[in-house]
Structure 1
Amino acid sequence: MEGRMTAHNMTGISYPSKNLAFNSTEEIEAFIASQNIISRLMHCYIAFFVPSGLIAGICILIIFIKNYLQYKVIENLDLLLLHFTISNIIMIFLSFTVITRPDYLNATHLACNVLSFFFNFGYFNSQYAFILTLLTLLLKSFPPTTALSKATQRPILCVGFVLICAFCLSLTAAVLVGADNYHLDTDCQLDPLFARPEYEIVKFTFGFGIPSFLQILCFIVLFAKEAPALKQHIRTYPAVYIISTSIFICRLFYNVMILFRTTFKLQKSIGTPKNELVMNIAEIVLFCESCASLVFILCFHKPCKDELLKVIQNCRRKNTANSHLEIPTTHESGSQ
């Protein structure tokens, strides 16, 4: 039943690249070209984005922990960004599954489902953590007497609520992946190909549709409230605005590809190698966004940016001091 499927049993399908019968030289060349593209993108991601994201993430953790130990307090916005940072670091570690591309990770259906659960947990967690960050930023413009304002004054409770929501959504997605033939090996992707069509629909709805609506709503209210001093507000919180833009663009592309894959399943088709290539590109773009978000926090969020500038200035002072110490030594040796 290769390449065919039913509404509730997707374990018989396979990737187009694994199920090809070449009829011409053009088809072979097109297949090789698509494999080369995904391989080069993977190497670019591993070589540049992963180190940048992990270094930025570690620096953010060190800065926030250092500030907390020094001042014994952490602002609500910083705590939410810290939660967002940890979620993205988890996403980066899970992205190492793309190292095998253009091939796929070989795992059992059960192991693939477990990987998918943790991936979705990080995905939903980072998405809703950022929505909570936007909401906290928005409510700073309103009197602290409102119910939502009081709720955001207890960020630990809000983070706990986000974690519970992310866990429930990830568990729902894991159920929709299915447990058929759990002991058999498969070509594993973090969004398993053998998942039921409902999996992609739930992921799009709760991982992009609803969060994007809330994000746009927050911005509409924020712009309406802060219209007279909007430029100053953007300068005060540049990281939030930059990250929100990158999240929306990258996740839009990724989720559109997710929906396209659902249509193929509903049409009982496996698509083409080109469709497979674009889906793989969308997955890597999603991981690049996780890395980029951490770099944006480090470079544009004020506490992190100030600490980073201090480190750079200290390094320059040490280099200047060392150069001044070397000059007399040079003159002294010349006089001898």
Structure 2
Amino acid sequence: MSAHNMTWISYPSKSLASTSLEEIQAFIASQNVISRLMHCYIAFFVPAGLIAAVCILAIFIKNYMQNKAMEHLDSLLLHFTISNTTKILLSFTVINRPDYITVTQLACTVLSFLFNFSYFSSQYSLVLMLLMLLLKRFPPTTALSKVTQRPMLCIGCVLLYAFCLSVMEAVLVGTDNYHLKTYCQLDPLFAWPEYEIVKFTFGFGIPSFLQILSFITLLAKEAPAEAPALQQHIRTYLAVFVISITTFICRLFYNIMILVRTTLKLQKSIGTPKDELVMNIAEIVLFSESCVSLVLILCLHKPCMDRIVQVIRSCRRTHSTNSHLEIPVMPPSPEVMSQ
């Protein structure tokens, strides 16, 4: 249980071992970089992500009210949008970086639970979308096709699975000293090493393997004769494929740093200011990925694109009508006529 005693751990920026000039310069440089990245994220990525989320939700709700139904892919994208929006809202905990928010360990565990729930939900909903697109190209004759025709059941299974994983992660944060104040990240520094291992395995390793397997099957397997060409299939569902690649790249960087932090914990080392800097960069990259994914849905998903084009055309038509309104000519007054 010695590995579970995390009372020794702290951030390098909060426990400088010496006051050498090199260490102070490294500390100042890392703090400046973190601060600038945080301001860039808050100023550009957060507004873009939240505006995109509001537009996506409005478009999906309006389409549902008009058609009284929702496409299976749209249902999964709606769930993906809500999960990513939750992550963006939770990312406001980085607003005071390079410092960290100070809360009790219990409050930090609750924030971590909410973050992990949205993290796992978005990851596995993306896997479901890829599976659904794969089955559209290679229609199965088994009961699997019936399951994929019930997206709400699939979303319910994803939510239940994400909830169980989040509860497990909350337990692995640690069960002692809940009343004590601590510096908090959404992936708590004081969590047991098993926390990062479980998160890497179930939050990145398994989903990434399934995503890569889906891409390999899509590219390597010969489609039925009646199926559309591969280029047409990818172009039709471009948003999902681009989001999959973007998510994989951003989360790969983040999960590598998660494993690096686990290694430091097992070595009983708090690391260096550079390690802390890279971990903070990885965290901001992860949050930025949520914003970028929502913008990609808005710009690449066909129902969203069609609605945007419709709104733009309506605005242009209204502007054109107003600019061509004729100004009525007033008849001359009697005085002018008498002259």
TM-score by length of structure 2 reads 0.93
How many angstroms does 1:273 deviate by?
0.5
Q: For residues 83-102 of structure 1, what are the structure 2 equivalents within 5 Å? A: 83-102=79-98
CA contact (8 A) 1:131 1:211 kept: yes
- CA–CA distance in 2 between the matches of 1:210 and 1:8? 25
CA contact (8 A) 1:176 1:195 kept: yes
Q: CA RMSD in A?
A: 1.8
Deviations 1:23-55 (A, max 9, x none): 332322221111011011111111111111111
- CA–CA distance in 2 between the matches of 1:226 and 1:324? 56
Correspondent of 2:43 among 41, 44, 47: 47
Question: Is residue 276 of structure 2 the alignment partner of residue 280 of structure 1?
Answer: no
Aligned residues: 327
- CA–CA distance in 2 between the matches of 1:225 and 1:147? 21
Q: Find the counterpart in structure 1 of residue 167 from structure 2.
A: 171
CA contact (8 A) 1:136 1:152 kept: yes
Moved over 4 A (4+): 328-332
Q: Secondary structure at the match of 1:244?
A: helix
Q: Find the counterpart in structure 2 of residue 15 from structure 1.
A: 11
- CA–CA distance in 2 between the matches of 1:11 and 1:253? 27
Q: Find the counterpart in structure 1 of residue 134 from structure 2.
A: 138
- CA–CA distance in 2 between the matches of 1:85 and 1:281? 23
Q: Find the counterpart in structure 1 of residue 336 from structure 2.
A: none
Q: Secondary structure at the match of 2:3?
A: coil
Question: Is residue 31 of structure 2 the alignment partner of residue 26 of structure 1?
Answer: no
Q: For residues 1-336 of structure 1, what are the structure 2 equivalents within 5 Å? A: 6-225=2-221, 229-325=229-325, 329=327
Letter paired with 2:246: S
Deviations 1:111-143 (A, max 9, x none): 000100000000000000110011111111233
CA contact (8 A) 1:139 1:148 kept: no
Letter paired with 1:302: K
- CA–CA distance in 1 between the matches of 2:204 and 2:7? 26
Q: Secondary structure at the match of 2:137?
A: coil
Q: Secondary structure at the match of 1:182?
A: coil
Deviations 1:10-32 (A, max 9, x none): 13311000001443323222211
How many angstroms does 1:323 deviate by?
2.7
Which residues of structure 1 form unaligned runs of 5+?
A: none
Decide whether aligned partners of structure 1 residues 47 and 331 sit closer, same or farther in structure 2, where only a CA change above 3 A counts. Answer: farther
Letter paired with 2:205: G
How many angstroms does 1:223 deviate by?
1.7
TM-score by length of structure 1 reads 0.93
CA contact (8 A) 1:109 1:179 kept: no
Which residues of structure 2 form unaligned runs of 5+?
A: 331-339
Q: Secondary structure at the match of 1:100?
A: coil
Letter paired with 1:48: F
